């Protein structure tokens, strides 16, 4: 009997819906680390591994005070084992170890799981029972192969005092647009965690003036998405950053398709007959490559949704110092409004000419997530960190009277934005700090109670990050745009890099770090600007 028939994933031979549900159920079983007996692990030596099965590296994420998710994905030189299609390839038993020391002399947790072919041979282990607020080392073993060693940490216990949290935020790492020198430098800065805010991959076949080549394909099906993630993870700087600390993640559009909105496709690539099927495959590939908990799959598991629907939003507390709220403004949003009739994707528009613009029925997060945010916004941390994919504050691109806005960001969903700032006030959110990405430009400013009223009080601060590599338009109009949108205090539309927030009980310091030349892997780095926010004052000051 072939090995795969011995595993619970044998049900994958069932077509379509049942297949996906069995797959998701298997993911939960595997991440939970059920014993070898329950999983019917193939005996040692039955599976022939490729020469370097851990070439995509290791990662960790979704930290709690007592545990963390460990990730790896086995890969072979031709994508899969011996050139077999994933479902024909065998599942592979993988051991994992967590130690207090880098030499694994003091192993505190270990176990065995399966790299399931149906999940691209990805491995997600949800480790529990770790001590709060400390660093650990981890690795995987398969056959005779041993993975690189990763380093990760737990968060402080709920309510426990914490002196400091160094949280990096980053987004938009288009492969063709540059090298990942930013990740190499961030690793040297040794943050506690990375908050990745979207556009982990781009689905395009390439770019004009590409610094690096992709395989030249439009990414539209599961095998394409897997290959694109594997390409990005082959980058040593990105791989090393994943191995250095836990990541918290949300996503934006390019993990699926440019400018898609909920269940509506965007405007890039050859037409696809069934967009929801494409989206489900993209979501599966994202799950396979990210150090996230299996419960992100739970809505699909319960059978409420056809195909994959992932629960990306969530909240993680860093002791009493910070509550990190992750939002998903992409999966549940209404389609963009105010563009030319019949046009998919994003557009620039004049809100005065678009009655649908302010329609309160239109949502960015979807009703369920909006409701959830009410609870999340009442978080108890000194700092309420809101990680979401894009720029929150309005960016009017027309100088003087009248407005020109972009409908893919919060500017296209003003009623939903108002509900978000209302919730912050209603729940008396403690020191809201909104972090974002998407626009490939650094924007720093104040979150206003009512953006429609320029005299409105600030209820929080915003740092929208530039891209790791993805291009932007340049500085020609930055000063003009800042003047037009005075809730922002700083903008830069040229430099690439990341932001590093250092939270203490009394103060937040945010440093914008930018690479000298995104086209060079050996690029240097420098500080573009530094800002300070005192706890209790929604005011961002140049430091
Ligand atoms: Fe982007
Ligand atoms: Ca204007």
For the cut 50, the answer to whether the pLDDT of residue 147 exceeds it is yes
Mean pLDDT calculated for residue range 142-165: 97
pLDDT digits (tens, 9 = 90+) for 55-72: 999 999 999 999 999 999
Q: Nearest ligand to the C-alpha of residue 200? A: 1
Q: How far is the CA of 252 from the centre of ligand 1 (A)?
A: 8
Ligand 1 centroid to residue 201 C-alpha, Å: 9
The CA 473 to ligand 1 mean position distance, Å, reads: 13
Residue 449 Cα to ligand 2 middle (Å): 20
Mean pLDDT in residue range 530-543: 98
- Band of pLDDT at residue 90, cut at 50, 70 and 90: confident
Ligand 1 centroid–CA 124 distance in Å is: 27
Per-residue pLDDT at 35: 42
Task: Identify which has the larger pLDDT, 83 or 13.
Answer: 83
**What is d(CA 405, CA 394) in angstroms, rounded to the nearest whole number?**
8
pLDDT for the residue numbered 308: 64
Mean pLDDT of 42-58: 78
Walk across the sheet containing 432-436 and list its strands: 314-318, 322-326, 383-387, 432-436, 458-464, 442-448, 488-492
Pick the ligand that lies closest to the CA of residue 171.
1
Dist. CA 408 → ligand 1 center (Å): 12
Compute the Cα dihedral for 483, 487, 490, 494 and give only its sign: negative
How far is ligand 1, taken at its centre, from the CA of residue 535, in Å?
A: 31
CA angle 44, 47, 53 (to 5 degrees): 105
d(CA 268, CA 258): 6
Average pLDDT value over all residues in the chain: 91
Å from CA of 172 to ligand 2 middle: 28
- Place 150 in a pLDDT band, splitting at 50, 70 and 90: very high
Residue 82: what pLDDT?
A: 57
User: What spacing in Å lies between the alpha carbon of 395 and ligand 2's midpoint?
Assistant: 9
> Biggest alpha carbon distance in the chain?
74
| pLDDT computed for residue 25 by the predictor | 66
| Smallest-distance ligand from the CA of 254 | 1
Nearest-CA neighbor of 162 among 500, 503, 431? 503
Q: How far is the CA of 401 from the centre of ligand 2 (A)?
A: 5
Cα(436) to ligand 1 centroid in Å equals 11
Half-sphere exposure of 105 (CA within 13 A, CB side): 3
- Say if residue 229's pLDDT is above 70: yes
- Nearest ligand, CA of residue 486? 2
Mean pLDDT of 156-184: 98
Ligand positioned closest to the Cα atom of 401: 2
What is the pLDDT averaged over residues 194-208? 98
397 CA to middle of ligand 2, Å? 7
- pLDDT at residue 112, as a whole number: 96
Does the pLDDT at position 83 exceed 70? no
**pLDDT tens per residue across span 275-295:** 988 999 999 999 999 999 998
Ligand with minimal distance to 390 CA: 1
398 Cα–ligand 2 center, Å: 4
CA of 467 to the centre of ligand 1 (A): 7
* Proximal ligand: closest to the CA of 405: 2
Higher pLDDT, 43 or 236: 236
For 206-249, the DSSP string reads: --TT-SS---S----SHHHHHHHHHHHHT-HHHHHHHHHS-EEE
Residue 309: what pLDDT?
82
Residue 37 pLDDT: 41
Q: What confidence tier does 36 reach under pLDDT thresholds 50, 70, 90? A: very low
Query: Ligand 2 centroid to 483 CA: how many Å?
Result: 10
CA distance 274 to 208: 29
Spacing, Cα 228 to ligand 1 middle (Å): 15
Gap from CA of 131 to ligand 2 centroid (Å): 53
3-state secondary structure of 253: coil
pLDDT for 297: 83
CA of 251 to the centre of ligand 2 (A): 30
Q: What's the pLDDT at 298? A: 58
Within 13 Å of residue 152, how many CA atoms lie on the same side as its CB? 33
Long-range CB pairs of 366-371 (<8 Å, 24+ gap) are 366/262, 366/331, 366/332, 366/333, 368/332, 369/313, 369/327, 369/328, 369/332, 370/416, 370/419, 370/420, 370/423
Q: Separation of 227 CA from ligand 1 center, angstroms?
A: 19
- Write down the pLDDT at residue 1: 27
């Amino acid at each position: 009997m072939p090995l795969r028939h011995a595993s619970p994933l044998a049900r994958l031979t069932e077509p379509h819906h049942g297949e996906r549900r069995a797959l998701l159920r298997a993911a939960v079983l595997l991440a939970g680390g059920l014993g070898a007996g329950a999983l019917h692990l193939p005996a040692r030596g039955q599976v022939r591994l490729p020469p370097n099965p851990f070439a995509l590296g290791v990662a960790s994420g979704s930290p709690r005070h007592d545990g963390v998710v460990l990730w790896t994905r086995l890969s072979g030189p031709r994508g899969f084992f011996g050139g077999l299609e994933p479902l024909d390839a065998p599942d592979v038993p993988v051991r994992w170890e967590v130690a207090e020391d880098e030499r694994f002399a003091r192993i505190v947790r270990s176990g065995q799981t399966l790299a399931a072919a149906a999940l691209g041979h990805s491995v997600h282990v949800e480790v529990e029972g770790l001590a709060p607020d400390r660093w650990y080392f981890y690795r995987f073993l398969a056959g005779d192969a041993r993975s690189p060693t990763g380093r990760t940490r737990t968060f402080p216990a709920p309510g426990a005092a914490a002196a400091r949290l160094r949280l990096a935020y980053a987004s938009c790492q288009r492969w063709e647009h540059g090298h990942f020198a930013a990740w190499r430098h961030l690793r040297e800065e040794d943050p506690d965690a990375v908050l990745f805010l979207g556009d982990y991959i781009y689905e395009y076949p390439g770019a004009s003036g590409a610094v690096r080549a992709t395989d030249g394909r439009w990414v539209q099906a599961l095998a394409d998405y897997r290959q694109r993630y594997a390409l990005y993870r082959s980058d040593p700087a990105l791989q090393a950053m994943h191995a250095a600390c836990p990541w918290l993640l949300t996503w934006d559009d390019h993990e699926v398709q440019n400018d898609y909105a909920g269940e509506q496709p965007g405007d890039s690539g050859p037409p696809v007959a069934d967009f929801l099927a494409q989206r489900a495959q993209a979501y599966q590939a994202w799950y396979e490559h990210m150090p996230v908990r299996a419960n992100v799959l739970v809505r699909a598991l319960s059978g409420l949704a056809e195909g994959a629907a992932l629960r990306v939003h969530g909240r993680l507390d860093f002791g009493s110092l910070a509550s990190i709220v992750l939002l998903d403004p992409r999966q549940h949003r209404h389609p963009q409004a105010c563009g030319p009739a019949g046009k998919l994707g994003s557009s620039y528009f004049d809100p005065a000419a678009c009655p649908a613009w302010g329609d309160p029925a239109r949502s960015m997060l979807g009703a369920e997530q909006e409701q959830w945010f009410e609870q999340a916004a009442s978080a108890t941390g000194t700092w309420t960190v809101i990680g979401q994919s894009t720029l929150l504050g309005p960016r009017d691109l027309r100088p003087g009277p009248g407005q020109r806005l972009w409908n893919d960001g919060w500017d296209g969903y003003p009623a939903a934005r108002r509900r978000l700032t209302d919730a912050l006030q209603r729940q008396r959110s403690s020191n809201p700090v909104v972090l974002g990405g998407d626009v490939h430009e650094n924007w720093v400013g104040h979150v206003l109670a009512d953006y429609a009223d320029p005299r409105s009080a600030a209820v929080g601060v915003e740092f929208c990050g530039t891209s790791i590599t993805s291009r932007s338009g340049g500085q020609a109009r930055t000063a003009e745009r800042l003047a037009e949108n005075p809730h922002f205090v700083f903008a830069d539309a040229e430099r690439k890099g990341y932001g590093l927030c250092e939270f203490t009980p009394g103060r937040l310091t945010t440093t914008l770090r930018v690479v000298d030349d995104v086209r060079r892997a050996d690029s240097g780095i420098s500080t573009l600007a530094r800002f300070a926010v005192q706890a209790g004052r929604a005011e961002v000051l140049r430091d």
